[in-house]
Chain A
Amino acid sequence: MNIKMMAAAAVVGVMAASMPAAQAEDVTLEFVVWNYSLDTIQDNIKKFEELNPGIKVNLTDYTWPDYQDSLVLRFRGGTQTDVIYGGQDWLPAWAAAGWVAPLSSIAPEGKVDALAGDIAGFALSDVTYDEEVYGLPYYADTISFIYNAKVLEENGVEVPKTWAEVMAASEQLQAGGMDRPIVYEYNQELPNFFDAFVAQAYGRGGALFDDEGRAIFDDPSNPAYQHLEWLQEAFKKDLVQPEPHESNIITTMNTGQHAFTVVYNYVLAAMNNAGEQPLAGDFALARMPGDTNSTLGFAKFYAVTATAAADPVTAEAAWKFVDFMAGSPYAVAKRWAVEKGLGFGQLPLLSDQDVIDAWNDWIDMGTLAAQVESAKAGTWTEWTAVWSAYFRPLLAQAMVGEASVDEVMSAGAERWNMLREQFANR
């Protein structure tokens, strides 16, 4: 190489070195979400873009039932995807497949640990895989037992504390003329169909898996097994009205023709929304019935894809975006909590007066705090999502009496243990 060429190369090198600052400001992030409250998401993006000129965020949304498939297709097809909504049940599989990146690989040193210290235990567990934090909570919630307080009061029914009491109260209400007192989200294609079952089993003090991750719910003395028997009996007695989606439950409960349901807390917020629902204010939260009153806590979160993390410019912008959406001072998480009643994983918001004031309108904060405190995370492995897809139709079959509880639980446990072994030998 002659001197002229070396000089030219040096000039090009100096120019290139001076460019990254400008390039960092010209990045477009592809942000993929499920389509809950898109106006609020767009507004949050607008605020982020105002604070970070040069970073543009393109939003793509899918319906909740289509979300997982669509993301898998994007990952497999190499469609640019930078920041996503993640779910606790998908994380192990997506992380193991190398589709998402740990936040420590893109965040300034120590930042993730500092934020993790503010996250509720079950939520932190849900955003962690292989001891690495992969996301910050978009929202975190518990699956809760909801009742129509007015209906119970009018019928002289006490708020049930065990599942036996729920059955007795439902039969009493049915005898009094109520057609189907329990409204149940019955949709075997939704992951929350399994989550709600786990939450109810947790209420009984059940664990579905042992410490080594083996399935134990096929034991007739296991609370999950007993709870499926309970559900089968409730369906058989025509006490249950199945609904395909939580949005239907909001409307159905607001007819005043039903007393109990098991849903996310934000559904209670919607049921008690005075601007939209005729019976707003009639619905209340009770601890999950059972011996321990525990329930399933979970987190949905912002995660960054491995391809975004591999590019320094995109990674920097992606971190800024995730930090804006879920990091301290938790302005966006607070907005979701105040405006939409979404739960949060960031513990400092529990003592935020604006949140307390907003939530007091639709939920008893004391009961909620007790429920959150006793909530447990689910068992999420690389194969949970695949296994859940296999097990949910079996659950649905057993509930309506098309298969015996024993058949279903045995088949479910066998498949779980087989997958566990398969993945161990992967």
Chain B
Amino acid sequence: MWTLKRYPFVWLLPALLPVALVTLYPVGHALWTSLHSVMLLFPGEPFVGLENYTRVVTSNYFAVALRNSATFTALAAPAVVAIGVSLALFLRRRFFGRTMVRSIVLLPWVLPGAISAVLWTWVFHPSFGLLNWVLLEIGILDRSVSFLASPWLAFISVLVAHVWTQIPFAVVLTMASLAAIHPETMEAARLDSRSSWKRFRFVIFPEIKPMVVVLLIYNALMAFTSYDLVYAMTGGGPGTATTLLAFQIWRESFSMYDFGAGAAVAFIVVVISALLIIAITRALPSDLFGDR
């Protein structure tokens, strides 16, 4: 008899097959491309083995792009989680206009990356930008600053924009996790300690820790594969100041017409992403993936 227990894999096939098809085929094709010379302006697509990988790893941009991506990820992921958790804790409180504040906090979620990029480009604009205006008004600056033309300021600017776009998801997941804490646990914590920091550290954080780990992994991956904001705000520049590895996939493929090299960079990104996941889950052990 066909039962879920006897043939679980067969019952899963209708769902697994389409997923496998739309995942494995592109990945397989990308792997094939990375092992061939697929340069649009040259005839043929000969097998070149690991030559594409060697070429991109030894190119003059790779070390810079890898360093930028690592720095970007190391700063963005904890920042998103820290701000997201703080905002979620704040939004649990009852205060006047809480619904409106929640809506505003979630606003970046509904904006496509390109729109967010345009918005932040205007915020950082030297003549019309809100940031320059504020800094000039309060006297921190005596003349406007071209944030997106200065290498390290451009990096910070893209980082800020990226963090802004990712915060709402962190807030929503953390709020869901906070809502799952039993009210009696919270009440007991309030009786045991008047310090809100201690309540957070010893009661709330252990409860939401699995979610924090998920958020860290998710945001590390989002930061490491970030592309749209860089593309629209700085084009990876000035020079290579904001060039991330994910952006370099696009540049190799579409600017240089070298799909083989682009696919090789993509696979390097995949491998590093996998290592990132392992590293974070090991560094922050939680009960998420274990038996409870």
- A residues near B (Cβ < 8 Å) are 68-69, 72, 76, 93, 96-97, 179-180, 186-190, 235, 238, 241-242, 244, 248, 251-252, 255, 257, 382-383, 385-386, 389-390, 393-394, 396-397, 399-400, 402-403, 411, 423, 426
CA distance A152 to B258 in the complex (A): 48
Interface centre among B43, B235, B238, by most A CB within 10 Å?
A: B238
CB B63 to nearest CB in A, in angstroms, measures 15
Flag if A69 contacts B254 (CB, 8 Å). yes
Closest to A398 in B: B239
Task: Give every chain B residue within 8 A of A390 (Cβ-Cβ).
Answer: 255-256
Q: Which of A76, A93, A385, A400 contacts B150 (CB 8 A)?
A: A400
Chain A CB within 8 A of B42 CB: yes
Which of B151, B251, B254 contacts A402, CB < 8 Å? B151
Q: How far is the CB of A351 from chain B (nearest CB, A)?
A: 40
Cβ-closest chain A residue relative to B252: A389
Contact B238 A188 (CB under 8 A): yes
Identity of the chain A residue whose Cβ is nearest the Cβ of B146 in the assembled complex = A242
Beyond A179-B144, A400-B149, is A188–B237 a contact (Cβ under 8 Å)?
Answer: yes
B40 A97 Cβ-Cβ under 8 A: yes
Residue in A97, A186, A190, A389 whose CB lies within 8 Å of B251: A389
Bound: A389/B247 CA distance, A: 13
Known contacts A188-B239, A189-B236; 17 further A-B pairs (Cβ under 8 A)? A93-B40, A179-B144, A187-B235, A188-B238, A189-B237, A244-B121, A252-B127, A252-B128, A385-B257, A386-B41, A389-B256, A390-B255, A390-B256, A393-B235, A393-B243, A400-B238, A402-B239
Residues of B contacting A399 with CB < 8 Å?
A: 238
User: Given A238, A241, A382, A396, which contacts B239 in the complex, CB threshold below 8 Å?
Assistant: A396
Known: A69-B254, A93-B41. A393 touches B237 (CB 8 A): yes
Indicate if the CB atoms of A394 and B239 lie closer than 8 Å. Answer: yes
A330 to B128, CA, bound (A): 41
- With an 8 A cutoff between CB atoms, is B148 at the interface? yes
Give me the interface of B with A, judged by CB distance under 8 Å: 40-43, 60, 121, 125-128, 143-144, 146, 148-151, 231, 235-241, 243, 250-251, 254-258
Q: What's the Cα separation between A403 and B61 when bound, in Å?
A: 14
User: Is the Cβ of B151 less than 8 Å from the Cβ of A426?
Assistant: no
- 14 inter-chain pairs at a CB distance below 8 angstroms, sorted by A residue, are A68-B254, A93-B41, A179-B143, A189-B236, A242-B148, A248-B125, A252-B127, A255-B127, A386-B41, A386-B257, A389-B255, A397-B238, A400-B149, A426-B42
A124 CA to B150 CA, complexed, in Å: 39
List chain B residues, Cβ under 8 A from A190: 235
CB contacts (< 8 Å) of B250 on chain A: these are: 69
Closest 7 CB pairs of A and B: A397-B239, A189-B235, A389-B255, A69-B254, A242-B149, A188-B237, A396-B238
A92 CB to closest chain B CB (Å) equals: 9
Asked whether, in the complex, the Cβ of B128 is within 8 Å of the Cβ of A251, the reply is yes
> Which residues of chain B are within 8 angstroms of A411 by Cβ–Cβ distance?
60
Q: How far is the CA of A402 from the CA of B153 in the complex (A)?
A: 13
Output the nearest chain A residue to B235 by Cβ-Cβ distance: A189
Report the separation of the CA atoms of residues A49 and B257 in the bound assembly, to the nearest whole angstrom.
Answer: 36
> Would A397 and B40 count as touching, CB distance under 8 A?
no
Contact (Cβ within 8 A) A93 B257: yes
Of A187, A189, A397, which one neighbours B240 at CB under 8 angstroms?
A397
A400 vs B255: C-alpha distance when bound (angstroms): 23
With a 10 A CB-CB cut-off, give which of A187, A188, A382 has the most chain B CB atoms: A188
Contacts of A244 in B (CB 8 A): 121, 148
Shortest Cβ gap from A400 to chain B (Å):
5
**Separation of A235 and B41 alpha carbons in the complex (Å):** 36
Q: How far is the CA of A403 from the CA of B172 in the complex (A)?
A: 44
Chain B residue with Cβ nearest A423: B41
Q: Report the Cα distance A96→B42, complex, angstroms.
A: 9
Q: Chain B CB within 10 Å — which of A69, A179, A252, A393 has the most?
A: A393
Give every chain A residue within 8 A of B40 (Cβ-Cβ). Answer: 72, 76, 93, 97
Q: Which residue of A lies closest to B254 (CB)?
A: A69
Q: Are A403 and B239 in contact (CB under 8 A)?
A: yes
Given the interface contacts A72-B40, A179-B144, A252-B127, does A393 sit within 8 Å of B240 by beta carbon?
yes
- A-chain residues with CB within 8 Å of residue B239 when the two chains form the complex: 188, 393-394, 396-397, 400, 402-403
Q: A69-B254, A389-B251, A426-B42 are in contact. Are A241 and B237 (CB under 8 A)?
A: no
**Chain B residues with Cβ under 8 A from A255's Cβ?**
127
* CB of B144, distance to nearest CB on chain A (Å): 7
In the bound complex, CA of A393 to CA of B150 (Å): 13
| A393-B149 CB under 8 A given contacts A69-B254, A72-B257 | no
Q: Please, which residues of chain B bring their CB within 8 A of the CB of A189?
A: 231, 235-237, 255
A397, B237: Cβ atoms closer than 8 Å: yes
Q: With A and B bound together, what is the CA distance between A241 and B258 in angstroms? A: 34
- CB-based contact A241/B240 at 8 Å: no
Name the B residues within 8 Å of A93 (CB-CB): 40-41, 257
Instruction: Provide the residues of chain B in CB contact with A235, threshold 8 Å.
Output: 149
Determine if B236 and A188 form an interchain contact, defined as CB atoms under 8 angstroms apart: yes
A76-B40, A257-B127 known; A400 vs B254 contact (CB < 8 Å)? no
Q: Are B254 and A383 in contact (CB under 8 A)?
A: no
Asked if residues A241 and B235 are in contact (CB atoms below 8 Å), the reply is no
Kindly report which residue of chain B lies nearest to residue A252, judged by CB atoms. B127
Q: How far is the CB of B194 from chain A (nearest CB, A)?
A: 52
Q: Considering the chains assembled together, what is the distance between the CA atoms of A255 and B144 in angstroms?
A: 15
Q: Which residues of A contact B125 (CB under 8 A)?
A: 248
Report A-chain residues with C-beta under 8 Å of the C-beta of B235: 187-190, 393
- Contacts of A188 on B, CB cut-off 8 Å? 235-239
Smallest Cβ distance from A85 to chain B, in angstroms? 17
Closest beta carbon of chain B to A282's beta carbon, Å: 17
Nearest A-chain residue to B231, judged by Cβ:
A189
Q: Chain B's nearest CB lies how many Å from the CB of A385?
A: 8
Complex Cα distance A68/B143, Å? 38
Q: Complex: how many Å from CA A423 to CA B41? A: 9
- Chain A residue at minimal CB-CB distance from B114: A63
Most buried by B among A235, A242, A382, A411: A242
Chain B residues contacting A238 (CB-CB under 8 Å) are 143
Query: What is the CB-to-nearest-CB distance from A368 to chain B, in angstroms, rounded to a whole number?
Result: 28
Query: Nearest chain B CB to A124's CB is how many angstroms away?
Result: 24
Shortest C-beta distance, B245 to chain A (Å), equals 15
